[in-house]
Amino acid sequence: MKINETVEKALNEQINRELYSAYLYLAMAAYLDDLNLPGAAHWMRIQAQEEIGHAMKLYDYVVERRGRVVLEGIAKPPAERKSITDVFESALRHEEEITSHINNLVDLAQEEGDHATVSMLKWFVDEQVEEEDSVDTILQKLKYLGEDGRSLITLDRELAQRQG
């Protein structure tokens, strides 16, 4: 069955948000590389790849439901940050915003009686719990350890271990 037009439009908007998320995380990676924190930059690059995967999961779903993917321009993300803590605080705020959009998509699909989309979006609901937790865990370590040299070197080494 062809996807509902209202849901299709909303999913296209979410595809753009996910692609913006990838762009945002790449900008964060560039900032962290500039701070000589290659492990943290690596973590953000992996995060950017995940966001592209999320966009493609939505893309494939729209196509599978005989909808049309319409790509829009991607906004320019901020290039400057105050600190590594600011980077991860911004990342957490962004993930919370994405969670809100995913929840709104679920609500819309339910209102439209689109059970297939509700089912597909369950994966995204669960994924957002993990996304917020992983960023918050790093942020809590930063708040506990502080941003002195030894702490940052230790955390940077840990972040470098992230697998894609």
Q: Give the Cα separation of 14 and 29 in Å (integer).
A: 22
Q: Tokens at residue 63, please?
A: 């196509």
Q: Which residue has the higher pLDDT, 164 or 110?
A: 110
3-class DSSP state for residue 87? Answer: helix
Q: How far is CA 84 from the centre of its chain?
A: 18
Is the model's pLDDT at 1 over the cut of 90?
no
Res. 65: pLDDT tops 90: yes
Domain 5-159 belongs to what architecture? Up-down Bundle (1.20)
CA angle 57, 58, 62 (to 5 degrees): 120
Torsion over CA of 92, 96, 99 and 105, rounded to 10 degrees? -140
Do the beta carbons of residue 155 and residue 141 sit within 8 Å? yes
Stretch 101-116: mean pLDDT, rounded? 98
Give pTM, 2 decimals.
Answer: 0.95
Tell me what pLDDT residue 39 has: 98
For the record, the structure tokens of 108 come out as: 């819309």
Cβ atoms of 108 and 6 closer than 8 Å: yes
The Cα 52–Cα 137 span in angstroms is 22
- The mean per-residue pLDDT over the stretch 48-77 comes to 98
